[in-house]
Amino acid sequence: MGESELLARLPERVWSTPYVGGRFPGSRAVTERPGLAEGANCQLFAYEVLRHFAMEVPAWRSSDLWADTALTERVANARPLDLVLFNATDESWGAHVGVVVGEGRVLHLSAEAGRPAVWGLADFAARDRYRTLLGFKRVPRRG
């Protein structure tokens, strides 16, 4: 699936998601009101995008995602729907998570953008908080 097809298949609710830092995987705010309608942080947003494409990720924080080897795998070459992690340093704790949508392009939700955006890898590298590309994680499809 190409980038434009992948992006076109996302429902409007994904595109209208506001950034809300307190709505992260496992938070009380998400447990009480799941979904994206009330906002999300980058991880929750990325996991909901994958869920739309029949891929499931536990309610992990970025460091748990990066450390996992049972349900995900690190890959050197990204393809659409792989997760990507960025940070200011090479630490996975607090890393920013996005979804690869095309060659060097990432769909993500950040406080800076406020709403979902597609950036190139160079856009992340140009910002101190995202300058370190930790790597890519692949999640298997269900069924």
Pairing of strands 105-108, 117-120: antiparallel
CATH of the domain at 120: 3.90.1720.10
- What's the CA gap between 91 and 8, in Å, rounded? 33
Question: What pLDDT score does 143 carry?
Answer: 53
Domain of 41, in residue numbers:
3-138
Question: Average pLDDT for residues 8-20, to the nearest whole number?
Answer: 95
* 57 falls within a domain: yes
Of all helices (H) and strands (E), which one includes residue 135?
strand 132-138
Residue 113 has pLDDT above 90, yes or no: yes
* 143 falls within a domain: no
1 — pLDDT class (breaks 50, 70, 90)? confident
142 — pLDDT class (breaks 50, 70, 90)? low
Summarize pLDDT for 50-90 with one digit per residue, the tens.
999 999 989 899 999 999 999 999 999 999 999 999 999 99
* 92 falls within a domain: yes
Mapping DSSP onto H, E and C, the string for 62-90 reads HHHHHHCCCCCEEECCCCCCCEEEEECCC
Overall domain count for the chain:
1
